[in-house]
Structure 1
Amino acid sequence: MGWRPAPPVPPGGSQSVKGVKLGFRVDLEYKVTNHLAAVATFQAVELGVDAPGTGSLNPSWFQAGARWRF
């Protein structure tokens, strides 16, 4: 596992991806006090690869943190 560089684009392929790509985001927020909240977020994006013989690239990630409101 871990990060790996993208494979070279085979002949006949291109690095531009055509068409609409989608993504989504889900946020959860828990109010601790009137000013402080705990936050959790999940995001996913469809990037894709437009080269013959390669798979798509669809990263997703979680974030956690705190939010302070004045």
Structure 2
Amino acid sequence: MSTEVTTSEFRNEQSRYLDAAQREPVSILSRGARRRAVVVSPDFFDAQLKLLRIGKISALLRLPVERAAK
């Protein structure tokens, strides 16, 4: 689940939405519906980066050695 707010709502109540982002992602919408940004907790962000790195490493391990070196 995610909270959705407009840019002006986020601007007016940053503290509230930054607190909410510690529990769930907060999507910041531009012009009503277009998602402009997503605010997440540092722990969530770090965990996702770690998963991306693990995925890249495991993908490299599946490549022949010549291709992995590029």
Q: Same fold per TM (> 0.5)?
A: no
> TM-score w.r.t. structure 2 length?
0.23
> TM-score w.r.t. structure 1 length?
0.23
Looking at both structures, which has the greater relative contact order when contacts are Cα pairs under 8 Å and sequence separation is at least 6?
1
Rg (Cα) greater in structure: 1
Q: Which has a greater percent of helix?
A: 2
